[in-house]
Amino acid sequence: MAFRAAIFDLDGVLVDSARLHFVAWKRIADELGIAFDEHDNEALKGVDRMGSLDHILALGAVSLDLPAKEELAARKNGYYLDALATMTDADILPGATALLASARAAGLALGVASASRNAVMVLERAGLLDSIDFVADAAKVARSKPAPDIFLACAAGLDVAPAACVGFEDAAAGVTAIKAADMVAIGIGDAGILAEADLVFASTAAVDLDQVLRLTPAPSQV
């Protein structure tokens, strides 16, 4: 069986937005007096907004009620949106435009499955929205990564069976989500961290699409 769709995570796979998320969370952590650095930020990759806030609060052993947490999450998003206003196509990760073009030329439908509720805006700012056939809406899925929901929603939106999809992710939780969706998983980053992936490349620019397309979906997926 041949692949019919490629489904991409956004932050860290197509666009270099992780830095902007970090700067916004760092500002919140500073305001709360919680020590938070780039190493701590690694654990936030692929994690949704409230999950990220919970992680930072846990670092500072801070406990807040839901309204206070909602205010902080909204404040962080305000900081992030301010930073997003400066995003341009210069923030597309090296190799991402070429990868999308190669996947398109190989006849694949193209989807985005991001935990970010700002995914459409990020794609717009980066000038990539027109290159994508379907963007799954993180606000509409019940469970965030590592659950398979966002990848399954994307496959459904593309009208392609999950077994015929290959997913690309830079976060361990995202790779778990792809595998749970019964798709072939391509990791982008550290092979040790992304050990669950079927194949790992060090960066988006290093992806060899021919090698990816030679992978055979597992028998359970056919």
Per CB under 6 A, residues contacting ligand BG6 are 10-11, 21, 44-49, 52, 77, 114-118
Residue span binding Mg ion (CB under 5 A) among the ranges 5-13, 52-60, 189-197, 214-222: 5-13
| Closer Cβ to Mg ion, 169 or 182, answer by number | 169
| Closer Cβ to Mg ion, 34 or 198, answer by number | 198
11 flagged as catalytic: yes
69 binds, among Mg ion, ligand BG6, none (CB under 5 to 8 A by kind): none
48 binds Mg ion (CB under 5 A): no
d(CA 131, CA 218): 29
137 flagged as catalytic: no
Q: How far is the CB of 31 from Mg ion (least distance, A)?
A: 25
Q: How far is the CB of 39 from ligand BG6 (least distance, A)?
A: 15
- Return phi, psi of residue 117, to 5°: -75, -5
Q: How far is the CB of 133 from Mg ion (least distance, A)?
A: 20
| Closer Cβ to Mg ion, 48 or 170, answer by number | 170
Contacts of residue 76, Cβ cutoff 8 Å, sequence gap at least 6? 24, 25, 27, 28, 49, 53
- Out of 113, 119, 171, 180, the only residue in the binding site for Mg ion (CB under 5 A) is 171
170 binds Mg ion (CB under 5 A): yes
| Closer Cβ to ligand BG6, 100 or 150, answer by number | 150
- The catalytic residue among 11, 16, 170, 198 is 11
170 binds, among Mg ion, ligand BG6, none (CB under 5 to 8 A by kind): Mg ion
| Closer Cβ to Mg ion, 108 or 173, answer by number | 173
Q: Name the closest residue to Mg ion (Cβ).
A: 12
Cα 161 to Cα 78, 122, 153, 167, 218, distances in angstroms? 37, 27, 11, 13, 14
Q: Which amino acid is at 219?
A: P
- The catalytic residue among 9, 170, 182, 198 is 9
List residues with catalytic annotation: 9, 11
Residues that bind Mg ion (CB under 5 A): 9, 11-12, 46, 170-171
